[in-house]
Every structure is written in structure tokens, then in C-alpha cells.
Amino acid sequence: MATAAVEVIGVVGGGQMGSGIAQLAAVAGFDVWLHDTEPSALQRAQKSIVDSIRHLVSKGQISQFAGTSSLNRLRYTSNLEDLRTSDVIIEAIVESEVVKKKLFSELDKIVKESTILASNTSSISITRLASSTSRPSKVVGMHFMNPPPIMKLVEIVRGADTSDEVFMTIKTLAERLGKTVICSQDFPGFIVNRILMPMINEAFYALYTGVATKEDIDTGMKLGTNHPMGPLQLADFIGLDVCLSILKVLYEGLGDSKYSPCPLLVQYVDAGRLGRKRGTGVYNYQNKTPAGHP
């Protein structure tokens, strides 16, 4: 099956995921534009990418030349129009259907006719995102795991109209980025979050109803089931706001009360305790070195 040539990648959203995806693509040899509406987010993204690439060089994982070339292939912009030459755009903005649809509709008008619009959404329907564009066959889910440079999986989500050629192009791209691909049909939460989020929600319920302390819940799942990280620690790592958004999508999309978000999770998000990215979530990360991720 034919695949389209990909040379230039646009990444929209320079937060935890977008900055990692941009870094990964630049190190793999693609020209990359990273866009965020917030100049401060772009500055943070640039710092994190530079630090991370320097770290790869210092560990001998890539050469000095490869590190410098990767940094030179990255451009940062707050002007969405700069992404117009991209062959593939990977969207990694806030997990909101309304905001993502608005972006997809804008991108549809800016980019080339052949450009593929991929979303890193954790749970939102690709078919509905595609409906905000004039190119539903070229809209696809490309769901990286956190942190994108390290985690080996990409979940590709086929919307109702995603073409076979677009699927194959994104599969080939993910493999060039060093990832293993799984394919999901377009149902709420896809594969990974459909299974992961109920576990995280249950861990919150266990904490909420006083079954155990947060430490014992996490240690139980780490040592009892050989998970590298406990579910509450993982929720902090993902972002409690992101977890809540995904659970709402599961609850609304599948209509089963078992997906109803735990009130404690809702309260933490209301209080701005969003996890590691805000310095506090289930755990407090201020004045501490945050735990690493597998």
C-alpha cells in the first residue's frame, strides 16, 4: 500500500507531550515546527528539549553532531500559519473536544491539501474531530505515551473515514520514530486508556473511601502486580486534569456508571492540584526531585 513521504512535521501544543514529540521527531531527522499559543509554554518546551538533547549527548546516546543538527531542525512559533508546509501535523493541545475541533478547522484552511492531521488525544473521538475539517480521510489518531521520547508505544486510531494510505503513512512514521504500533478503532479511550483509567479511578475510590493510604495503594500495585509505578503516582505523572477529561469521555461515551469520575479526583482538579506539572497532586513534588518514569 502506498505511503506519503514525510519530511516536515508540525506539532501543535508545547506542553509535556508536544515538546517530547517535537524532540523525538527532530532527533529522528525530521524538520519540526513546534507551535503553542503561550510564549511561556514555548520557552519551557525549548528549555526542556535543549536539556534533554544535551543529556542524550552527554550519555553518548547520540553524537554531538546529531544533537546540534537535531536542535537546528527545530523551530518554535506562536504563529499557526508557520506550520503550513508540514506534511503531517501532530496536535497535542488541551484535552477538550471544543478546543481541538476549532484548531482542526483552522489547520484545515492553512495547510496543504495533502497534509495529514493527527491527534495525540487520549480519548476524544477522531471521527468527530475529523468532522470539523474538509479532509476526514486524512485525519487520524496518533497517541503517544508519556514521555514520548522514552515510551515505546504509539496507538494509531482509525476514524470512521481514515484512509488506508493515511493509516500506513502514520504507521511508517511511528516506526521511523522507533515505536511499536497498535491499532484501535475509534471508541472512547481507545485501547490503553479504556483499560488504564478505570484502574486509576478505582485507586482514587480506594483512597477516597479510606481503604488505605496513598503510599500503600501505590506500593500494593507496584509490588503486587509488578507495575513500574503505582496508579496514583501515574495519575500525577499524566496530569489529574487529563485523567479527569478521559474519564468524562469514557463515562459519557459508554454510558456506564463504572466510569463515573471519583469525587476526590474531581476535587483535586478543582483545587488546581493537577499533579507533577503543578508541583502538587496526590503527592507533593515541591522541594523534591520528582520520581522518574519507566
Active site residue 155: yes
Residue 91 Cα distances to 96, 253, 260, 261, angstroms: 12, 22, 27, 25
Residue whose entry in the numeric block shows the C-alpha cell 484502574:
199
Using the minimum distance from each CB to ligand NAI, give the nearer residue, 67 or 115: 115
Half-sphere exposure of 243 (CA within 13 A, CB side): 35
Determine the 3-state secondary structure of 141 from DSSP: strand
37 touching ligand NAI, by CB under 6 A? yes
Using the minimum distance from each CB to ligand NAI, give the nearer residue, 99 or 254: 99
Active site residue 113: no
Continuous H helices in the chain: 16-27, 39-58, 64-72, 97-110, 126-130, 164-176, 192-208, 214-225, 231-238, 240-254, 263-270
Site for ligand NAI in 88-107 (CB under 6 A): 92-95, 99, 103
Using the minimum distance from each CB to ligand NAI, give the nearer residue, 8 or 238: 238
According to CB under 6 A, which one of 18, 67, 136, 231 is a site residue for ligand NAI? 18
Using the minimum distance from each CB to ligand NAI, give the nearer residue, 37 or 137: 37
Out of 48, 119, 184, 193, the active site residue is 193
Q: How far is the CB of 101 from ligand NAI (least distance, A)?
A: 11
Stretch in the footprint of ligand NAI (CB under 6 A) among 54-62, 141-149, 156-164, 169-177: 141-149
Q: How far is the CB of 40 from ligand NAI (least distance, A)?
A: 8
Active site residue 35: no
According to CB under 6 A, which one of 22, 24, 41, 49 is a site residue for ligand NAI? 41
15 touching ligand NAI, by CB under 6 A? yes
Question: How many whole angstroms separate alpha carbon 238 and alpha carbon 201?
Answer: 13
Sheet containing strand 74-77, edge to edge, reads 74-77, 31-35, 8-12, 88-91, 116-119, 139-144, 153-158, 180-185
121 touching ligand NAI, by CB under 6 A? yes
Active site residue 146: no
Using the minimum distance from each CB to ligand NAI, give the nearer residue, 166 or 247: 247
Residue whose entry in the numeric block shows the C-alpha cell 503561550:
38
108 and 129 Cβ atoms separated by less than 8 Å:
no
Q: Cβ atoms within 10 A of the Cβ of 4, count?
A: 17
Question: How many whole angstroms separate alpha carbon 69 and alpha carbon 25?
Answer: 12
Out of 125, 155, 184, 201, the active site residue is 155
**Within the chain, how many helices (H) and strands (E) appear?**
11, 8
List of residues contacting ligand NAI (CB under 6 A):
12-18, 35-38, 41, 92-95, 99, 103, 120-122, 143-144, 146, 238-239, 242, 277
Q: State the catalytic residues.
A: 122, 143, 155, 193
